[in-house]
Structure 1
Amino acid sequence: MKFTQYEAEGISGFVKNSPLMSWAYSVMSVRGFSTALGVVEIIIALLLALRPFSARAAALGSLLAIGMFLTTLSFLLTTPGIWEESLGGFPALSVAPGQFVLKDFVLLGASVWCLADACQACCSNEPVA
């Protein structure tokens, strides 16, 4: 989806309000950033998929995924409208954009698990490329 205009516009509110990512729009367009992000996500996925062949590649992919999901979870602090004011704000999340970010807690946990698995393989007698 990151390669579509629809998704590029959909994530622009998160990116432009993020102190970690808003700089990107000064060097590339909304669509260009979304496309670059899509490429990065595919690279991370490929590194993770290499786990049967290279635990080191999977560890790198896991570290990159952890960084990505920590960055997207920071949107909970920086994006206007995340907390549902009609319910008293924090911890009540709005449907959009708030609940959109929730999946990243699970993905962060999976990334940490993948990192632990890859590191264990690197430190054991398991063959690693």
Structure 2
Amino acid sequence: MEAKNIVFSGFLVGLAVGVIAAVPVIRLCNVCCLWIFFGGFLAAYVYGRGRAVEYVDCAAVGVVFGLTYGVVSNSSLLVVGLILDALNLSHIGSGSFGLAGSALKAIIRVFLGIVLGASGSVVYAATSFQKTAKPVEAKAPKLGR
């Protein structure tokens, strides 16, 4: 387990996906949590390029991705909301939940980021087919003397 590479991979992809997921039209793909799951998968791919990966390492990458994604996407959505308020477009397609509702949505977004990011990373670990050991040659037993 290389903590530096795990944190770097999860943080880098979480930052990118968190910003991308806040763009209003692209955000529609996140209705079924596609960005979160794909981001976890991508973070594990960045971590495990060209080497065998363990499930635990990939899950750790997914957790770092999920935390980063949750914080960055909440911040990005706040900025996008302020821009839409300035353009007087914030009333289109959404209701007002108030401060408590917004805080609850932010907590849920971080929780889903952790769970689905780790799930996407573990799926990468399960589908990566790098061999960890050399195959053992089977020798036929000698018959007779």
Same fold (TM over 0.5): no
Query: If the length of structure 2 is used for normalisation, what is the TM-score?
Result: 0.31
Greater relative contact order, per chain length (Cα 8 Å cut-off, separation 6+): 2
Query: If the length of structure 1 is used for normalisation, what is the TM-score?
Result: 0.34
Which entry has the higher C-alpha Rg, 1 or 2? 2
